[in-house]
Each structure stands twice: as C-alpha cells, then as structure tokens.
Structure 1
C-alpha cells in the first residue's frame, strides 16, 4: 500500500510517457509489485494453474530488452519489525511469515515463508528473469527501499513500484505502471515535479505518512488528505519533521480544532528513522555491483 491517499495527492504530478522513454536506461523493478499486478490480471484458478502471470512478465521483459533497457529485479527480504502488525493484518495473522517467530518485541524482522504461493511465484519470476539475462538483487528488508537507494545514488534511472512510500525512502523517478498496448507507455512520477508543483520534499511526504497512515503507522484519526496537506504546507518541508520529532503529533488535532487526546508517541521517531535509514545494501557494496 505505502501511504494512505498519497497517489491521489500526487495525481497532478502523474505523467504518461511512451515506452521508448526507457530506451538505453537502467531501471530497478520492485518484483513483488509487478507480480501482484500480474496476479491481479489473472486471478482465476485456470489462469493461475497455467501461470499466465509469467507470460505477462515475459512480455514486459521482452519489451524492455528490445529497447536495450537494463533491468534489475529487486526482491523483498525480511519483513521489518515495524511493519509486522500491518503485515499480519493483511495476511490473516501471518501466513506469509515463519510460524516460529511471532513476537515483534523479540525480533528485529521476520523471514518470509518461502513455501507460500506468492513466494513460489517470486522464485518463478527470478528464474524467468535469469533465463533472459536479468539480474536480481535480494533486499535486506523492503524492496522499494533498496530500489529507492539505487535511484537516489544514481545507480539506476528509475524504479518500477506501485508502493507510494518509495518516495519516502528517497526515490527520485518512479514508474507506477507499464502498458504494452498501442506502442506502450509508462506512468511516471518525478520527485522534482512533486517538489515544484506541490511543495512537498521527502520530509513532507514522511510527515504525511504519519498524519494519514502508512505501512508503519496508523495515522491521526479524523485527518483527511486535504487537511493533512494544509498542515504540512503551513509548517514547511524544512521544519515539519523537526516539529514532529520534538512534539509528536498532538498538535495536529489542535490545528484541526479537535480535542487533543494524543500522547507523545515514541513510535513516530521509529517511523521517521525507518524511512530515512532503511536496512539496505549500500550503494558501494559488492552485492550491488556484482
């Protein structure tokens, strides 16, 4: 999911550009996002049995390879401890995680259940990619965080991901979707446009995640996207995280005119740190450059 309502907030920055825009470029693919997209297209039992999602993946890769586009798959690693409650809620109390690790207070992260249906799909996607000469980087935790780091460090020209929190991890160019029909196009968002058109830098987007809710935090009850954007803009990108770090989020209710019943929540500092310093392979590591 990423950040609640963030794609709607960024709508004015969305660009649809021809697929050939990716010619001779290097792109990272958040592999889980692509497989979810392809799985949703072919959800029927017959389609799953025939592995139609792999056919869709093959056609995407074939189109990019034809453009001399250098593609790198990035796969999710362990589930961050800060995300465990969200992850279990989505997956019916943790069918995707190892069953012997259930207390988030005792672990820093959880290994994924590599025998799950989705994990098997990821393995199949990696095998197909390898057959086509596509390399795969296994992330330490969040794949979108690893993609963002590579993009931020100019090791790739852009990232394919439908998780909006990729911007909070530092990505500068994000391709949310790809369409191969009618010559093909991609849906693109540039952080430079977000900064110029909306006035939101990375710190502002992290602040919005805390106000609206995200994978790591429940948000402030009663705040909608319009109010949250107004609050963040009124404080400014340079100061908004400093204010949250020092005061928590109790002031958000005051600004809205509601009753201030929020206590200072230490978790907000953990969320800020999780977005600013995610667990990733460093840009100069052997794993990245192999």
Structure 2
C-alpha cells in the first residue's frame, strides 16, 4: 500500500516512457509486488494451478533480458513490529487493544513470515525461475521496498520496480510503478528530482505526509485530507517539518490548521481524538503520546533495517549469474508442460538479442577509448532478409555460436548500431543478385553455310542473265492440248475420297458493314499468236 493517496499527489510527476528506455539498466524488483499484481489480474482458481502468475513473470523477464537489463529480485524479510497491526488487519485478524492506563509494553521484535504459506511457495518458484535465467535474489531483512531504496540511493541500481509508494520515504530516487508489454510497450516512471522540482516535496516532506494521511506505520491525523496536508507541509518546509512535528507533535499541527478555520471553528473546543494514533498492543510497543509515535514512524523510514550496500549479501546479489539453459528447460516442463524446443523458441532469441546489445556496448566503449579492435566477434553471422514486426523495421539474421538457435528477428536499429558492416554486406549482395538477374545471356551466333549462300547467289545471277537475254516464257511452248491438260491438272485434283465425309461448314463472323464477296474463277485462254484471235474479237 504505502502512503495513503500519495500516488494521486504525485500524478503530475508521472512519466510514461517507451520500453527501450530500460535498455542496459540495472533494476531492482520488489518481487512480492509483481506476484500480487499477476495474481490479482488472474483471480480464477486456475491461476495458481496453471501457474499463470509464473508465466506472466517469465514473459516479463524475457522482455527485460532482450533489453540487456540486469535484474535483481528483492524479497521481504520479517514483518516490522511497527507494521504488525496493519499486517494483521489485512489478514482479517482482530487486533487486541490495551487500556491506556497500563504501562508501556516491552519492545516486540519483528515477526517472521510463514515460509509454508501459498504465497511463500509462489515466491520460491519465482526465485527458481529467475535463477535459471541468470537473475540473482536478495532476501531483505524486513521491507523489500526499503532494501530496493537503499540500493538505488547507493547507485547500485538505476531504478526500482514496486507499487508501494512509501519507497520514496526510504530514499529511492527512480521508481517504476508499472510495465506494459503490448505492441507499444511502456513503463510508468517517477523521478524524485521531478517531485522536488514540481511539487517542492523532499524526502522529509513525504514522511510528514505519511504521518498526516496515514501509511502502513500510522493511521494519520483526523481532519487532514490530501489538500490540507500538502498545504501544511509546504508551509513548514522540507528542512524543518520533521523536527517540528517530532518536537511539538499535535500542538504544531493544530496551530497551523487553526489558521485556516473559520471564526466559529477556531474557538471550538478540541478533543483528544484529533489524532488517530495506534494503540499499543501485545505486538506493538511505544508511548501513547503522539509525539513518541511520530518519532517512531520517522525513525522507521529514515533508518530501515536493510543490508548495507557494502555487505556480502548485496555484493553477491549484484554479481551477474550465467544463463542455465538445461535447468530452465526442466523448470518450464515441470511448471508449464513445455517441451525443450518450445522453451528454446521463447528464450533463445531474447538471449541472442541481449548478446548483440552487449557487443554493441563493447564496441562503442572501445571506440570511445581509441581501441580499434574488439576481442569478441560479432554474434551475427549474416543478414538474411528485412521484415516488419508490428510496423517496426526488423532483420532476419543468422547467429554464430548460438546453440539451439539459427535464425531470429532483430530490430533494424540495433543491427545498424551494432554491426553496420553486415547491413552493407547484405545490400551489396542483394544488388549483385538483382544485377545478375536483369542481365540476359547473349544469343549464340547462327552458323551460316557460305557454300550454300554462294550457290544461291550463283543461280540468282544466272536467272538475271537469262531474263536479260529475252528467254521465252515456258508456257508459250506448250501446245493447245498440252495447255488444256496443264490447266486441268492445276484446277482439278487427282482424285476424290468419297468415303470420308466432308467437314461441317464453319460459321464465320462477318461484320454487318461488310458484305460477302462472291468469288469466281475466270479462265483466261492463252493464245500463241494474233492469228488465233477470232474475227468477232476485233
């Protein structure tokens, strides 16, 4: 939960950033917040049985791995004693109250969590899955968000994933509240620098708001809503607000609030119920007075129980772990019923993309230092073809030394920045293939027979000479009888096949504007001389 209505107060500082904003970053994840989010989104009874929450975690981690994000799982430790009442109220347990006249109870230590609960088993499965993917885990002493804030303030991580708004009160500087993995993926980000610049609230001011509005550690003060609390904190100032509230307690709050009241309300007698403080119970300790409880809450936020940045546990969690392919295949088969091939299909392209991003970072760092050669070879073997994925430009590439993966799609801008020479090689090869395809093969030269050409040329010349000398027409030498037989042979066929029926006449389409022309054969009689002409012809 965190601080009541704090996310609404920080709404103007919310930023929606594209998913690639997370590339090459080191991130701490409040694991319990993610699992609660997945379980809440899938409330069906099959959620736990079918491991839906674990599948959602797996796919979210795939996206972060492809962006070369170094992730650290941070889990909750014991429940702080100051939070016991809130914890039991969430579980629906009745909190026993003690009479105010009794003496203060001795301090109660933190309460260890039930390691055998259903949620604890979900956490164990998530940590096993993360370990196979090369993601380390850090078990916090108490609050996981407090441990994330310590790592972030010490610059051991670039940001924290959590939905608990009180992480700012523990000292976090960059918080990612949510992540969406749709086509246009994005993250919801809050920066402490924006909160200080836009709202004027520092860490002390946010702790003061938690005292007035209520949080996991206190119930707040009666009569203070969001606007009233913000005005009060701004009027006092970030530097002195905690000291004033710790020293003066309710008196300072009443004095400031009375200035904004009407004349009638100003002289109204105040009761002792103006502040809704936690009553001490068998599990809680502290004085009944509001000043002492303010001090206890302030100390819980300013000095949380966490692993120090230089501790062995933190150093071990900040060490990169190897990707365990066989262990991941076994876990996915046990949890989801996937075959090893299906698991490889999901995770290996993301691992290859991460390796390409690391190669790009190495080459850029080497060039910045003036080093020309890189001791690592490019993981991309060749570019096969371009494609579009969700409207974005991608390349299908073949990989080198990637067991179980031959081809996958990679963003074009990543290939351009990591290995531009591969793109130049691909384009050159493509142009060469296009040129070879357009180039036609030359037709083979026809072999000519010079002797035949010479013979034809010779005959043609002889024919011309014969015509020039006035050679007679062969038809004039034919006698009349021979002439008739000659014409008859031309016009009449040698025989007719009466056994074979004639083919059916074909209907021919004739244009309307054209009329069929009757065809007739005129026989022209050829005579030898003028003496054969009949007298009637003259």
TM-score by length of 1: 0.94
Structure 1: distance between partners of 2:93 and 2:31: 23
Contact 1:250 1:260 in 2 (8 A): no
Please list the CA deviations of residues 87-128 of structure 1 after superposition, one character each: whole Å capped at 9, or x if unmatched.
Answer: 00001229xxxxxxxxx9553200001111111111111111
Q: Where do 1:34-113 residues align within 5 Å?
A: 34-93=34-93, 105=106, 107-113=108-114
Structure 1 residue 250, shift from structure 2 partner:
3.3
Cα-to-partner distance string for 1:237-286 (whole Å, 9 max, x where unaligned): 01100101111133323333362635543111011000000000000001
In 2: Cα distance, 1:147 partner to 1:181 partner? 26
The residue aligned with 1:275 is: 301
Structure 2, unpaired ranges of 5+: 95-104, 259-264, 276-288, 317-538
Structure 1 residues 41-95: Cα deviation after superposition (integer angstroms, max 9, x where no partner):
111102221110001000110000000000000000000000000000001229x
Distance in 2 between residues matched to 1:249 and 1:25, nearest whole Å:
44
1:150-189, aligned counterparts within 5 Å? 150-189=151-190
Alignment partners' CA distance in 1, 2:192 and 2:250: 25
Shift of 1:212: 0.3
For these two proteins, the number of residue pairs brought into alignment is 281
What SS does structure 2 have at the residue aligned with 1:288?
helix
Runs of 4+ deviating beyond 6 Å:
none
| Deviation of 1:24 (Å) | 0.5
Structure 1 gap segments, 5+ residues each: 95-103
Q: Distance in 2 between matches of 1:201 and 1:160?
A: 20
* Distance in structure 2 (CA, Å) of the matches to 1:22 and 1:186: 9
Contact map agreement 2:71 2:135 (CA 8 A) in 1: yes
**d(CA) in 1 for partners of 2:271 and 2:300?**
26
Equivalent position of 1:12 in the other structure:
12
Q: Could you tell me which residue of structure 1 aligns to residue 244 of structure 2?
A: 243
Distance of 1:265 and 1:91 partners within structure 2: 29
Would the aligned equivalents of 1:254 and 1:260 in 2 still touch at CA under 8 Å? Answer: no
For 2:199, the equivalent position in structure 1 comes to 198
Once the two structures are TM-superposed, the CA of residue 222 in structure 1 deviates from its matched residue by: 2.1
Q: Quick check: 1:141–1:279 contact (8 Å CA) kept in 2?
A: yes
In the TM superposition, residue 164 of structure 1 has moved relative to its aligned partner by 0.2
SS at match of 1:109: coil
Q: Is the 8 A contact 2:28 2:159 kept in 1?
A: yes
For 1:216 and 1:231, locate their aligned partners in 2 and report how far apart those are by CA, in whole Å. 20
Counterpart secondary structure, 1:53: helix
2: distance between equivalents of 1:62 and 1:152?
A: 27
What is the distance in 2 between the residues matched to 1:268 and 1:106?
Answer: 16
Who is 1:234 aligned against? 235
Is this contact kept in 2: 1:42–1:48, CA < 8 A?
Answer: no
Contact 1:247–1:264 (CA<8 Å) still a contact in 2? no
Contact in 2 for aligned 1:253/1:260 (Cα 8 Å): no
Give the CA RMSD over aligned residues: 1.4
Structure 1: how far apart are the matches of 2:151 and 2:75? 13
- Which SS does the other structure have where 1:238 is aligned? coil
Matches of 1:260 and 1:190, distance apart in 2: 40
Q: Over alpha carbons, which structure has the higher Rg?
A: 2
Between 105-114 and 35-44, report the one with greater CA deviation. Answer: 105-114
Distance 1:34 1:234, change over 3 A: same
